[in-house]
Amino acid sequence: MGFRVFCSNSMTLIWGTLVVFLFVYALYVLLNIHKRKRFPPSPTGFPILGHLLLLAGKNPHQHLQKLAKKHGPIMYVQLGLVPAIVVSSVDAAEKFLKTYDHMFASRPHSEASQYLSYGQKSLIFAKYGVYWRNMRKLCAVHLLSNHKINSFQSMRKQEVQLLIESIKKEAHDCVVVDLSARILSLNANLTCLMMFGKKYMDEDLDKRGFKAIVQDVVDLASTPNLGDFFPFLGVIDLQGLNRKLKDLSKVFDEFLERIIDEHVEYHDRDQTKDFVDTMMDIMQSGEAEFQFDRRHIKAILLDMLLAAKDTTASTVEWILTELLRHPQVMKKLQNELQEVVGLERMVKESDL
């Protein structure tokens, strides 16, 4: 069994957290531009805590939506010592995320991002600026280029074939198949092969398994951390979150260090270069125009590992679910497959 994926609910939480952080940062920028001229409308808050209690409870987004109905689509709230803007209409969101995106695209400091991205070195958590642009370019050119992605085509074909063969056999024996689990496993296998050149199993990361670890990441990253709202409380770590974040980052770090060490040992293989090989080459050639060492490699690997988990597998799972719910669409798809591909061969990537 390979890595498992965390549920898409958690992804919503991550995005929710990111969005809150984005708004926190948005206000920093707004304040600088307008030199504290005017705040957007704001509900009354408590002294010191401000509107922090709005984030407590189960559905903070619903509280915020109710308040926005009263105070408008651009609303000011104070989260502890941190000023923040809540944006609640399509128009306003478009202004922040599209029209003025370059001003609001950055990521603020947060305790979680410190621990989970080697001090904001990953693409997910890095501040918007020269470093982020260079890093993104490097990933786009060396890791995510068509050429690179195509170089893994035969590997992908082989893995999909394995899955099809085993389902065929199980269908023949009338065995029940948990397709969701298989898709997750396929996704984990493909991700590992592309990034690390070999499959890693759940227990290679930690005895608790990948799924539990990633769930911890999501939970910790989405729990409001007092240290983020009252920076002087960060050191005291009243909730014990930072200690847990540190433990988690150690689990990932040891795993990634081991992988990099293994690559250093067997560097000149004929096999298609995986992501680690490619980044080791960049590190050794010095072609990155910025500092690029093991920490940067690990930060990018962690980005890709976390990003690859949920997205693809749950999309495929949803597509299959909807097809089962709509037999006439399934029929149409089957007909199209017969006409375009035929029943003699497997679907190729070039058919898509």
Ligand X SMILES: *[C@@H]1O[C@H](CO)[C@@H](O)[C@H](O)[C@H]1NC(C)=O
The CB-of-189 to ligand X minimum distance in angstroms stands at 4
Smallest gap from Cβ 256 to ligand X, in A, equals 20
In the bound state with ligand X, the residue whose beta carbon lies nearer, of 161 and 284, is: 161
Is residue 295 a contact point for ligand X (CB under 6 A)? Answer: no
Interface with ligand X by CB under 6 A: which range of 56-64, 86-94, 185-193, 249-257? 185-193
Least distance (Å) between residue 155 CB and ligand X: 12
Q: With respect to ligand X, which residue has the nearer C-beta, 12 or 154?
A: 154
52: nearest Cα among 190, 258, 205, 224: 224
- The interface region with ligand X, picked from 114-122, 170-178, 182-190, 247-255 by CB under 6 A, is 182-190
Tell the smallest beta-carbon distance from residue 190 to ligand X (Å): 9
Contacts of 45 (CB under 8 A, 6+ apart): 51, 77, 78
According to the binding rule CB under 6 A, does residue 175 interact with ligand X?
no
Q: Which of 61, 63, 156, 182 binds ligand X (CB under 6 A)?
A: 182
Does 199 sit near ligand X (CB under 6 A)?
yes
Neighbouring residues of 39: CB distance < 8 A, sequence distance ≥ 6:
76
The rounded distance, in Å, linking the Cα atoms of 319 and 183 is 12
Instruction: By CB under 6 A, tell whether 197 contacts ligand X.
Output: no
Q: By CB under 6 A, is residue 194 in contact with ligand X?
A: no
Question: Phi/psi at 330 (nearest 5 deg)?
Answer: -60, -45
Q: How far is the CB of 199 from ligand X (least distance, A)?
A: 5
Size of the site for ligand X (CB under 6 A): 9
- Based on the shown chain and the rule CB under 6 A, indicate whether residue 177 belongs to the binding site for ligand X: no
Nearer to ligand X, 145 or 158 (CB): 158
Kindly tell me which residue out of 27, 124, 143, 186 binds ligand X, with binding defined by CB under 6 A: 186
Residue 191 makes contact with ligand X by CB under 6 A: no
Within 152-171, the residues that bind ligand X by CB under 6 A are 159, 162-163
CA angle 228, 232, 237 (to 5 degrees): 70
Write out the DSSP string of 208-266.
T-HHHHHHHHHHHHHSPPHHHHSGGGTTT-TTSHHHHHHHHHHHHHHHHHHHHHHHHHT
Strand-pair partners of 76? 85
CA distance 120 to 292: 14
Query: Contact between 227 and ligand X (CB under 6 A)?
Result: no
CB of 274 to ligand X, least distance (A): 16
Choose, by CB under 6 A, the member of 10, 114, 117, 185 that binds ligand X: 185
Cβ closest to ligand X, residue 77 vs residue 184: 184
82-87/74-79 β-pairing: antiparallel
Q: Tell me the longest C-alpha to C-alpha distance in the chain.
A: 73
| One residue of 17, 42, 189, 242 binding ligand X per CB under 6 A | 189
DSSP secondary-structure letter at 128? T
- 228-233 LR contacts (CB < 8 Å, sep 24+): 228/80, 228/82, 228/109, 228/110, 228/111, 229/52, 229/79, 229/80, 229/81, 229/82, 230/80, 230/81, 231/81
Query: Which positions lie near ligand X, rule CB under 6 A?
Result: 2, 159, 162-163, 182, 185-186, 189, 199
